[in-house]
Amino acid sequence: MAHVGPRRGSDDVDGKQKKTVKETSTVHRPTSKASVGAKRGRDDGDGKPKKTVKETSTVHRPPDEKLTNEQIHEYYRQFFRSQGFIVPDYGGRMCGGVGPYSMTDKYRQKLVKDMIQKSLRIYNRKNVVSMMKVNFEFDKLVSVNAGAVAGLMFYITFNARSGDDAPQTFYSKVWKTFNGYIKVQFCVIGNAQEVGTSQDAGTSQDAGTFQA
């Protein structure tokens, strides 16, 4: 039987050595305690070092814990009660779900700030008190949730104040489309449970569209 691996033969005519012929063989990795990476073993037959074998370590991350029926029920209860402004932390793990939006970098921080400013401009323009235009200005961010909807739909809760008056809590629903447009769906004052019954929340009339 011909030896598997690199071999040399002699030319049948002139007796000269043929060009080396490489054959494919199965390399058996050693079972020693060598670290993962490049390893060398010894051929069982001739004691010569085997060809270096590079191994790639794979990190197996445990899958996300499956949500229970109770968790799913609680998510929908909170979502519909607050129209997306109050949801469990695990909401973003659900298909089509809404969850907390991490403000992890300056881009995200600026994006949310721009959405708030545009929401307030629309609110101030639409509302008049005693024949005078209100002028609410941003005070503090409370929370931001988001879910994928042909882009991202944001549910932003923030505080704003007008003059020396006490700050009011605003709820603004803003859609950032996949092509970069920002569309303010509504911006209202109230509480999360009342948002779903607000006339403003139920219509896109007078909503603003901006290029992000």
53-63: pLDDT as tens digits: 454 444 444 55
Domain boundaries, given as residue ranges, for the chain: 101-211
pLDDT given at position 147:
96
Question: CA 43, CA 135: separation in Å to the nearest integer?
Answer: 83
Instruction: Encode burial over 66-85: b for 16+ CB neighbours within 10 A, e otherwise.
Output: ebeeeeeebbeebbeebbbb
Tens digits of residue pLDDT in 151-186: 999 999 999 999 888 999 999 999 999 998 999 999
Fold of 101-211: Nuclear Transport Factor 2; Chain: A, (3.10.450)
Residues with pLDDT less than 70, the chain: 1-64, 129-131, 192-212
